[in-house]
Structure 1
C-alpha cells in the first residue's frame, strides 16, 4: 500500500475521532486479505471484537452488522455490550489497493499500545496503525 493511501486513510480516520459525546481513539488494521476473502475478513473482525472488548473491560459483546440498521452502511459494524447494548467499538471494512483495511474506533481510555500489539498478533494482519 502506498504511503499516500496510508496517509489519506490515517487523516480520514483521525477526522472521525473529533470530539463528540465520548472521547475516541482508533486504529487501522492493515490485512493481507484480498477482495475475494470476505469470510476471512469477517472472521478477523470477530477476533478483533474479542480483543477490543477485553481491553475495554466492558464485558461480553456482540456484533451488530450495518445491514441490521438503516443508520449504518453494509460494511460498518458495532461491538455492543450484551448487558445494556452500550457502545464498545465501531468498525468500517475497506478494500484499498486490493487488500482489506479494518478501521476501528473505541473509547480512548484503553491502553492503545497494548491493544495495537494484540490486534497485530491476530492472523492475516500485516500491521496496525494507531490513531490517537
Structure 2
C-alpha cells in the first residue's frame, strides 16, 4: 500500500510542477533573468510557487516532526551536523548555476522527460553523471586526508 501512496504523492508533485510551469525551462529562465525587469519580460509567477512550497514545507516539517516516527519508516533521518562547510556552500551554488543555465532542476527535469525533448533527456543524463562524479569525489576525500597526514 505504501508504494501506491508514494506514487500518488509523486503524481501530485508532478502535476503541481506542470501546472505551475516549473517543468518549462523557458518559464523558469524568464523568472531567473532579472535583467528582463527593465524591458517587462520578467516573469515573477514562480516566486509565488516557491513561497507556497516553502510555507508548505515549513508547516509540514513542524507537524511531521511532532510524530514519534514517520509513517513509512522506522525512524526519522535528520542531519546530525548544523555547521556550514564548503560542501554546504558549493553544493547549492552548483545547483543554482545548473538551474540558471538549463532552467531545470531534478524534480522538473523528470517531469520534463514526459515531453520527450532532447534537452530534458540530456539534462537528466548530465545530472546522473554529475551525481556519480560528486559521489566518487566525496568517497575519495577521506583517503586524500589520510595521505596528506603521512
Larger Rg: 2
More helix by share: 2
Query: What TM-score do the two structures reach when normalised by structure 1?
Result: 0.31
Query: What TM-score do the two structures reach when normalised by structure 2?
Result: 0.29
More strand by share: 1
Q: Which has the higher contact order (CA 8 A, sep 6+)?
A: 1
